[in-house]
Amino acid sequence: MEARRRKLVQVASQNFQGWACSECAWMFNPSGPPAGESIDEMKTHYKQQRDKAFASHVCEKYRRATKNPS
C-alpha cells in the first residue's frame, strides 16, 4: 500500500475515540500521559508522538477483519 494514500483520521465510536489510519485497523495508542510543562507543549508532544507512530506503522500488520472470510 502506498503511504501517500493513507490518511490519519479522527474516529469517535462507542469503543474508541482518537486517531486511526484510513486504510487499515491501526489506531493511535499514546504511550502515556502527555509530557510538557504547558498545554501547548503537551499538545506538541502528543502530535509528534501520534504523527511518528502513524508514519511508521505498516498497514499489512493491521488488516481489517472481513465479514466473509474465505
| Exposed/middle/buried for residue 26 (C-beta within 10 Å: 0-12, 13-18, 19+) | buried
At residue 4, the pLDDT reads 63
At residue 56, the pLDDT reads 96
What residues does each domain of the chain span? 8-60
Tell me the C-alpha to C-alpha distance, in Å, between residue 38 and each of 31, 34, 45, 48, 61: 19, 10, 11, 15, 35
At residue 1, the pLDDT reads 46
Mean pLDDT of successive 10-residue stretches along the chain, which has 70 residues: 78 93 95 91 95 96 74
Which three cell numbers mark 48? 509528534
At residue 69, the pLDDT reads 56
